[in-house]
Structure 1
Amino acid sequence: MRTPDAPRPVRFVALGDSITVGLGDPMPDGTWRGWAALLADAVGPPGTVEFHNLARTGALTGDVFRDQLPAALALRPTVAAVVVGVNDTLRAHFDVPVVSAALLGTVGALSRAGAVVLTARLPEPGRMFGLPSGLARPLARRIAAVNAVTDHAAALYGTVHFDAATHPDTYRRDMWSVDRLHPSERGHRLLAGAYVDLLRERDVPVHRRPDPRPGNPPPTRAAQLAWLAVKGTRWVRDRCTDLVPQLLWLAAAESWYSLRGQASRLDEHLGRDLAAALAAGTGTPAVGVDPTAHPKHPPAPT
């Protein structure tokens, strides 16, 4: 039996993609740790936190809604993290209503189940990769739409919402691993510490703040190159057949509209989709929108 002064047990369930899996924060035994595990160690004393990481590498918002949410609800979490959306922007197909339905459906279900939900605004992939503006702008437009949906979910359900997109340390090179897509150990510690600060602002009891300094030696240059050669090759191959042709198409469309002084039409098109998705978004998928559906091709320039 728990004594009156004993800390309240916490059941922390993390949903998301490879960022929440912990890629970029390797442990000496070869496993991944990551921000969610660091946060689990911080929210309560040893023995008081039950941590379940349901995140999967490559997960889209629809995957989280379809596969991870039912498992999370079955665990009856007191705290749940939903950090996802970057992979959606890095696919040839990007559909705002599908992303919106999946994100709002996931956050809404967890909130209604009584969990304190953690969400995040995501940084721009183009800035992390150092892409030229013609390639970065389409990705920035997409991540802005994902962030608008997440902002809407945060306002609707009162989530603990971290703005990684504008944090002053987000784009520091040492915050990112060699692939520039996943945080380094320092970046994972930044994310975990930010959530501790936000939880304290909500008067949620927290055991301690994670040390922002890395506890493991950084990977050597040889180890980083080996990881890229062995693990990163598949990601590059998949994106070369999936994202790159579409990204070049988007860059061509950007140039076509810009040369005609009509670049705002691209913002307007995505803006209309976003407005419709947010107007319908109450945490229950809109009629006719399947959160797990394969998104449609964007329209061609006219």
Structure 2
Amino acid sequence: MLERQSTVGSAPIGSFVALGDSFTEGLGDEAPDGALLGWADRLADLLARRSPVPFRYANLAVRGRLIDEILEEQVPQVAELTPDLVSFCAGGNDILRLGSSVDRIAERFEEAVVELSSHAKTVLVFTGFDPRGTPVLRRLRGKIATYTAHIHAIADRHGCLVVDLWSMKALQHPRAWSDDRLHLSSEGHRQVALRAAGVLGLRPTRSAPATHALQGRVRQPQRLDDLRWAKEHFLPWLGQHLLGRASDEVLEPKRPQLLPL
């Protein structure tokens, strides 16, 4: 349970626009009817229930998008929507590409933040995850940590609120992740939504269910499981997203208009 009205400072949150890639689209958090939920939908629901004014929500995130694509396709729409709150999480797909420059990605991230800050009352940004428990990706831990430091610095310069995913112990537990270990599970998305709500000032009246259970010792995956994961999930994903083998599927935002829930 969360208490207090959904406000940032003294201003109520009456509209929320989410930008980004698969993390914000909600991959890994499927409803019984197959629709994607995700932390952003869950946060929007929490905000709507506590908003003292009519609440509207849009989710422009599209899986696989690079930061340049998000700046080109999604960021300009915020100027038309002028929301009270905009969330921005981008750069993860870029960091995973061979030869990518963290400093260059951070520069583009800051360009987006400057633009978003001129059209939204509050900008909420997200750091990278700590990949120490994920095979292969843990080799990029230093690169992701550097990007996380950049995001904190950018947020400090421009007055953004920060959801620090790196520090979330709950996300170090296998149950927080889908079988592909690349996208959060429903529980992982729920934990992120609660953390984001806390950053926005909505505090839980008691400990969230399952939080403590997810903070126990993480069992290290066995080598055979790692090899199976790499064959079934990581290598196909690598081929599609990192080596430029584009899917024939035409992807559009799941909630392109700022509408009531």
Global fold match (TM > 0.5): yes
Q: Distance in 1 between matches of 2:103 and 2:203?
A: 39
Alpha-carbon distance change, 90 to 209 in structure 1, aligned in 2, over 3 angstroms? farther
Structure 2 counterpart of 1:109, from 115, 139, 154: 115
Instruction: Say yes or no: does 1:93 pair with 2:99.
Output: yes
Given that 2:96 and 2:242 are in contact with CA atoms closer than 8 Å, whether structure 1 keeps it comes out as no
What residue number does 2:135 align with?
Answer: 130
Q: Distance in 1 between matches of 2:118 and 2:242?
A: 40
Structure 1 or 2: more strand by fraction: 2
For 1:178-197, what aligned pairs fall within 5 Å after superposition?
Answer: 178-197=179-198
Deviation at 1:62, TM superposition (A): 1.6
Q: Distance in 1 between matches of 2:147 and 2:206?
A: 28
Given that 1:16 and 1:59 are in contact with CA atoms closer than 8 Å, whether structure 2 keeps it comes out as yes
For 1:216-235, what aligned pairs fall within 5 Å after superposition?
Answer: 234-235=236-237
Given that 1:82 and 1:119 are in contact with CA atoms closer than 8 Å, whether structure 2 keeps it comes out as yes
Alpha-carbon distance change, 145 to 53 in structure 1, aligned in 2, over 3 angstroms? same
Q: Distance in 2 between matches of 1:141 and 1:10?
A: 38
Deviation at 1:241, TM superposition (A): 4.0
Q: Distance in 1 between matches of 2:234 and 2:181?
A: 11
Given that 2:13 and 2:85 are in contact with CA atoms closer than 8 Å, whether structure 1 keeps it comes out as no
What residue number does 1:142 align with?
Answer: 143
Alpha-carbon distance change, 212 to 26 in structure 1, aligned in 2, over 3 angstroms? farther
Q: Distance in 2 between matches of 1:81 and 1:232?
A: 27
What residue number does 1:71 align with?
Answer: 77
Q: Deviations over 1:249-280 (max 9, x none)?
A: xxxxxxxxxxxxxxxxxxxxxxxxxxxxxxxx
Instruction: Say yes or no: does 1:118 pair with 2:124.
Output: yes
Q: Distance in 1 between matches of 2:31 and 2:99?
A: 34
TM-score, structure 1 normalization: 0.63
Which letter does structure 2 place at the counterpart of 1:147? T
Q: Deviations over 1:187-226 (max 9, x none)?
A: 10111101111111xxxxx598899559xxxxxxxxxx9x
Give the secondary structure class of the aligned counterpart of 2:170: coil
Given that 2:22 and 2:61 are in contact with CA atoms closer than 8 Å, whether structure 1 keeps it comes out as yes
Alpha-carbon distance change, 36 to 240 in structure 1, aligned in 2, over 3 angstroms? closer
Deviation at 1:163, TM superposition (A): 1.3
Deviation at 1:112, TM superposition (A): 2.3
Which letter does structure 1 place at the counterpart of 2:172? Y
Deviation at 1:146, TM superposition (A): 1.6
Deviation at 1:109, TM superposition (A): 1.4
What residue number does 2:27 align with?
Answer: 23
Alpha-carbon distance change, 208 to 51 in structure 1, aligned in 2, over 3 angstroms? farther
Q: Deviations over 1:134-159 (max 9, x none)?
A: x733x112212221221111101221
Alpha-carbon distance change, 211 to 181 in structure 1, aligned in 2, over 3 angstroms? farther
Given that 2:198 and 2:204 are in contact with CA atoms closer than 8 Å, whether structure 1 keeps it comes out as no
Structure 2 counterpart of 1:58, from 39, 64, 76: 64
TM-score, structure 2 normalization: 0.72
Q: Deviations over 1:57-79 (max 9, x none)?
A: 01122222121100122111110
Give the secondary structure class of the aligned counterpart of 2:123: strand
Give the secondary structure class of the aligned counterpart of 1:169: helix
Alpha-carbon distance change, 182 to 195 in structure 1, aligned in 2, over 3 angstroms? same
What residue number does 2:217 align with?
Answer: none
Which letter does structure 2 place at the counterpart of 1:192? A
Q: Distance in 1 between matches of 2:71 and 2:207?
A: 32
Q: What's the % identity of the aligned pairs?
A: 31
Given that 1:186 and 1:212 are in contact with CA atoms closer than 8 Å, whether structure 2 keeps it comes out as no
Deviation at 1:48, TM superposition (A): 2.4
- The alignment's C-alpha RMSD in Å is 3.0
